[in-house]
Amino acid sequence: MMTLWEASKKRISVRAYQDRPVEEETLDRIRAYIDELNGVSGLPFQLVTGPGPGVPAVKLPGAMFSGPVYAFAALVGGSDNLSAEKVGYYGQDLVLFLTRLGLGTCWVAGTYDRKSFSLDLPEGMQLWGILLIGWAAEKMPVRQQMIRAAIRRKDRKLKDFLESDLTYDQVPAWVRKGIEAVKDGPSAVNQQPANIVYDRGKVWARLWKEGRGLQFNDLGIAKRQFEVGAAEAGMPGRFAFGDGGHFSPEAEA
């Protein structure tokens, strides 16, 4: 299995899939991982498969996606900002796990047909998004290449993710590696609304930009991504939840 860092480097939003269901054994591994995550997060993520063999689990607009998707993870959580952030954090953890298994995935919050599957939601909870699960097409079709390029046109530079009195080159290597992972991570419409603040040895994450409701998902995603980069550079640690939540290196945690 590839490492978390390798998965973060390899991951892109896959919008073109082979007509090839994911093997039952692999689905079981994903279910087990989701159970583990739910145990830690308290969130009720679920693996959803089609109602029968060869039946897709969700209908996707053909203008944007190609190929059937036979399984997805339902990212369910409360409607408050903290829950939204947790959905982002643990959802991204799952994205990296799926990527490490060699699968293709795409975080989809809006562009899917919600009526094409049924899902029981616990009281007070909502479906924040779904993670498509399948085998990526061997070659990304031109249409999907163009969609990705169009959305990523607004990509920010690495130094734009840093808020500090120091320049990007002056901050420690592990902070730069963390930021690299944040930039490599997904965000809704590629808004990249979470920044990393470095102030006299302390690191925290903050939203610099208003969003249209998914920015707390993005904040949680950015935190998980930063942790992967920092760990790769020899500084494993964890963020506290919340806008402005601090990063604590493992040794101090």
Ligand X SMILES: Cc1cc2nc3c(=O)[nH]c(=O)nc-3n(C[C@H](O)[C@H](O)[C@H](O)COP(=O)(O)O)c2cc1C
Give the residues lining the site for ligand X (CB under 6 A).
12-13, 15, 64, 106-111, 129, 148, 151-152, 186-190, 214, 217-218, 221
Q: What are phi and psi of 227, to 5 degrees?
A: -60, -40
| Closer CB to ligand X, 34 or 235, in the complex | 34
| Closer CB to ligand X, 63 or 251, in the complex | 63
| Closer CB to ligand X, 60 or 171, in the complex | 60
CB of 152 to ligand X, least distance (A): 5
Q: Residue 156 corresponds to which tokens in the numbers above?
A: 């920010």
Gap between the Cα atoms of 188 and 190, Å rounded: 5
| Closer CB to ligand X, 198 or 216, in the complex | 216
| Closer CB to ligand X, 29 or 148, in the complex | 148
| Closer CB to ligand X, 89 or 204, in the complex | 89
Q: Is 129 helix (H, G, I), strand (E, B) or coil?
A: strand
Q: Which residues pair with 237 in a beta bridge?
A: 249
Q: Which residues pair with 133 in a beta bridge?
A: 71, 105
The C-alpha angle with vertex 66 and arms to 94 and 93, in degrees rounded to 5, equals 5
Q: Is 27 helix (H, G, I), strand (E, B) or coil?
A: helix
CB of 70 to ligand X, least distance (A): 18
CB of 199 to ligand X, least distance (A): 27
Give the burial string for 182-213 (b: 16+ CB within 10 Å, else e).
Answer: bbbbbbbebbbbbbbbbeeeebbbbbeeebee
CB of 13 to ligand X, least distance (A): 3
| Closer CB to ligand X, 7 or 106, in the complex | 106
Sheet containing strand 202-207, strands side by side: 162-164, 194-199, 202-207
**Chain residue at closest Cβ approach to ligand X:** 186
Residue ranges of alpha helices (H) inside the chain are: 4-10, 24-41, 81-100, 142-151, 173-184, 215-232
CB of 148 to ligand X, least distance (A): 5
